[in-house]
Amino acid sequence: MIEALGEISDSRAIPVIKNALRHKKISIRRRAAEALGKIADKAGLNQLIVALQDEVFEVRRTASYAIEELCKRWDISKEDLADTITDENLKQILVNYKEETLEVVEERILGLEEKIEEVIRTPNIIPMQEIINNERKKIKKFLERREHNSSRNKE
């Protein structure tokens, strides 16, 4: 149903879709974000920006893609789009949102690894290195699975 509302591209459907963005099912929230992107309305854009704060990565990612599509459709950059937003809270969410790609997460991990290496070099911490290395492997596998699932969901 949510997909159909997006396909008809009628802004009168936005209140219904807005409610779907708060649904407990992740798949419904993702479909709602996709539908709002198809409607291409300012009120829908505001809801997409709110969806950038969803607790689930896939919903945030879908909202980000929908905003990118709106920018292409409206022939405007994200920075210029932010300038059109009058609500300062929404504007800050959009400006500060950084897509959580595998590369971004890996950058964060590398920064943490450098800090961990400094700590490991101190005496009496050496036995923890094995534990830390195991955790690194688990994190990397988790991130790879999440990126793989995210790319499958886009198809």
The answer to whether the CB of 104 falls within 8 A of the CB of 91 is: no
Which 8-state DSSP code applies to residue 12? G
Which residues have CB under 8 Å from 84's CB, separation 6+? 76
Fold (topology level) of 2-96: Leucine-rich Repeat Variant (1.25.10)
Tokens of 48: 């997409």
Question: Given this model, what pLDDT does residue 153 score?
Answer: 62
Question: Given this model, what pLDDT does residue 27 score?
Answer: 92
The answer to whether the CB of 131 falls within 8 A of the CB of 42 is: no
Tokens of 12: 């009168």
Per-position pLDDT tens, the chain of length 155:
777 667 667 777 788 888 889 899 999 999 999 998 888 777 788 889 999 989 888 898 899 989 988 888 889 888 888 888 888 888 888 887 866 666 667 777 888 888 888 777 766 655 677 778 888 888 888 888 887 777 666 66
**Distance separating alpha carbons of residues 63 and 34, to the nearest angstrom:** 7
Question: Given this model, what pLDDT does residue 125 score?
Answer: 59
H/E segment holding residue 11: none
Length of the chain in terms of residues written: 155
Neighbouring CB atoms inside 10 A of 10's CB total 11
Tokens of 81: 């789009």
Question: Given this model, what pLDDT does residue 118 score?
Answer: 78
Which 8-state DSSP code applies to residue 127? T
Question: Given this model, what pLDDT does residue 29 score?
Answer: 92
| 3 state DSSP class of 123 | coil
Please provide residue 121's backbone torsions phi and psi, each rounded to the nearest 5 degrees.
-70, -15
